Structure formats: C-alpha cells, structure tokens
Amino acid sequence: MEKKGSILLERYELGKLLGQGNFAKVYYAKDIKTGQNVAIKVIDKEKTLKAGLNEQIKREISVMKLVKHQNVLQLFEVMATKSKIYIVLEYAKGGELFNKVAKGRLKEDIARWIFQQLISAVDCCHSRGVYHRDLKLENLLIDEDGSLKVSDFGLSALADSKRQDGLLHTMCGTPAYVAPEVINRRGYDGAKADVWSCGVILYVLLAGHLPFQDSNLIEMYKKITRADYRCPNWFPPEVRRLLIKILDPNPNTRIPISKIMENSWFKKGLGSRPAKVPKVEPTIKSFEKKQPEFSRPSNLNAFDIISLSSGLNLSGLFVGDDRREDVRFTSLQPASVIVSKLEEVATNSKLKVAKKDGGSLKLVGPGSRKEEIAIDVDIFEVTPSFHVVEMKMINGNTLDYQKVLKHDMQPALKDIVCVWQGDNQLQLQRQEMHPNCNPSQTGINVF
C-alpha cells in the first residue's frame, strides 16, 4: 500500500492522494532527483484484469505516448511491479477546468484563449489518428500559468479501431457532451464527434451552463439530436454563428477543425495570453493538504449514468419505437463472460446458439405452437468493463418469448445483470440490481 512520504521505486516521494476510482489512485509526488512535481496514477493489476480493463489501460498509455503537444497532459514514464502499474504524469497545478467554470462563466477573451488551446490539442490528436471521445470540462486541466491540458484518454480510440465502413461503433462519452450520431448508434466519425464536444465546451465557457439540459435524460437526448439550445444574450454574433456550424446535428455538414481554425472570431489574439487570466489556486499546496472528501467515479460516461440512475424512464432510448419485444440489460462483466452465460442459459432452455459478427448471438428453439422462436442478442461495449445487451424477438410467438425472458433468462442472468430495461412488466416484476450498481453509491455529479 502506497503511503505518504514513502519513496516509490527509488525515484518518487509520494504526497497526498489527489483522487481515486474503483481501479486506480492518483497521488501527488515529487521526483527526488530533479525536484519536479508530478502526478502518479497507481493501477491495481488484479482488479483491472478481473474487470477486463487491461486493453483500456494499454490504449490510454499508447495514446499518451503517441500524442505530444503543449496542451495535452504529458506522460513521463510507465513503471510496473508484479501487482501495480505506475503511470507518471505531468502535474496540472490548477486542477479541473470544471471547478473554474462552476464558479461562473469566463470572459470572452479568456474563453477564446482556452478554446484555441483545446482546438489545437484536439487537432494534434486527430493528426495522429487519435479520437478522444470524452471531451468535457472534467477532463480539461489547468496548468500553473492557466494553460490548458487535455487529459483522460481512457475512452479514446485509434484510427485502426474503425470498421470497414470507416466509422467507430463503440458508444461512449458523457451525456451532455455527446454528439447526436453517437447516440443514434449508426457508426460515427471520431473527429466529427470530438468537434461537437468542443462546441459544447465553448458554450459552457461563455454561458456558465450546459447548452442541453433536462432532468429527463431521454428529453435531453432529443434536444441534442435537434440541436435545441439557446445562446444567452451576451454571446457575440460571431460566436453564435460559429456554434451553429459546430453544433450541427448532421455530421456531414458540421464544420471541421480546419475551418474552425480559419474562423475570424477564433483567430483573434491567437497565440497571445490574455492579460487577465485568473490566478491559479493549486489543487494541493503541499504534502500536508487534506484528502478531498469526495472524488468523482472514474470513467463515468453516458451509459454508466443510465445503468445507475433508478429514476430515469429509459424506454425508447436505444430503439425509436415502443415494441415490447425489445428488452435490454446492462452488465459490468466482460463480453466473454456475458456470452458464456447466455450460452449456458440457452442450452438449459433448449435453444440453439449461433454466433454472428460484432459480438452478436442468435438463439433459436421450438415454440408452443409449432412455430420456431428466434431471438437476436446484440452486445454493445461501452467500456471494456461495461456492456449493454439488447434482446429482440425476430420470429415466433410473443407469449413464448415472454416466457423465455421471465422464467428462463432473467433468473439465470441475475448474477451478471445491473438493470433490465425495456419491457415494463419485466422491469416492474423482476428488476434486480447488481450490488456494484447501487445508485446511492455512485456520487454522480451532473454539472
């Protein structure tokens, strides 16, 4: 166990804990050779292996090694022992941009300066074939001089993640920042999705609040798909026109980063630091600062919030109609475990299993009226340790389908299911929460 004042791998003196999630802790530390302040992310190998997060960690490290830019949080080195992985990162003294904007909107010149840095960093990422996919204020850090540092590449994707259609298909992102095409599940261009998120960030910097807000997540997604937002009266006309081009719900006509960088409002004061950048108050002044009482959960995104929020009406989120034949559940298990469990249940229910491309299954068996029942099962990866599984009857009698779901599937799958969604009767009669999906324990903080 890491302790304050201990020397890590004969190189770094550990300070106080800056934050922690389920699988990692981040410490303030000092390089005893150079005196440089750093942040060290300590990852528990055993926990990440069980949660199926190894690939995500490898991706995050690979991306940070690949992208070198003054506005991207720098990775200094990666070390490992038998049980831990240590990622040594640049220490951003000012903490999250979220905390600055939460105190009030920024002045136009400061907001533009931050936006310029953000676009420059994202453009560099895209030039290296890296798409962040979770750009938000919480993932933007502030350096000692107030400069921006883009962080948290845990949900990023590389260009080789694309399928043959040239699009990404993994659903991820944070609800209020996510692009319409990501919600619609039809494949998306990572660069265009990042541009949308940058537009949301620009709006928040100038307005002090999000453009798309609704207590009902479904209604908020409807607003996003329609680009239904209003600019406050203090927004300059130039900004309004730029936002219309960035927050274009059609990715094919959405302005690319190259054109944003040519925009007249964007280019004002480019490369010059505004005279009145707010003074940075360090997130930790010394090794003696107390540990924060609350830390946000790591890698919390749109579909984590869906699974952990008991009060949301989720019917129709993934599918545009209200067909009772469609149900879905969320799970914290790796895809391999979900598939294995489904195969076991299908065998016990006398259903044959056929595997299809893209992590999908087809379950086929005899029905009560000499009519074959067929069920399509699609598994969607949100993160390596979080999946949405959708089940849909494509042939057969509805009563037979309901019987299989309620009497065979749901009881047998209860150990791997967080929440069932879709069929109202199924949800009301037999809804069971996975112990790790207790909404009261999530500490969700929606900005």
User: Which residues are tagged catalytic?
Assistant: 134
Q: State phi, psi for 377 to the nearest 5 degrees.
A: -125, 115
In three-state secondary structure terms, 88 is strand
Provide the token pair at 313.
């009406």
In three-state secondary structure terms, 265 is helix
| One-letter amino acid for residue 258 of the chain | S
Tell the residue number behind the tokens 């009406």, with chain if given. Answer: 313
C-alpha span between 49 and 40 (Å, rounded): 20
Q: State phi, psi for 397 to the nearest 5 degrees.
A: -90, 135
- According to DSSP, the residues that pair with 20 across neighbouring strands are 25
Please tell me the total number of residues recorded for the chain in this structure.
447
C-alpha span between 220 and 218 (Å, rounded): 5
C-alpha span between 43 and 84 (Å, rounded): 6
CA dihedral 388, 24, 282, 66 (to 10 degrees): -80
From residue 47, alpha-carbon distances to 92, 130, 295, 385 in Å are 27, 27, 19, 11
Cβ of 6: how many Cβ atoms within 10 Å? Answer: 12
C-alpha span between 174 and 446 (Å, rounded): 10
Q: State phi, psi for 395 to the nearest 5 degrees.
A: -160, 150
C-alpha span between 254 and 43 (Å, rounded): 38
- According to DSSP, the residues that pair with 216 across neighbouring strands are none
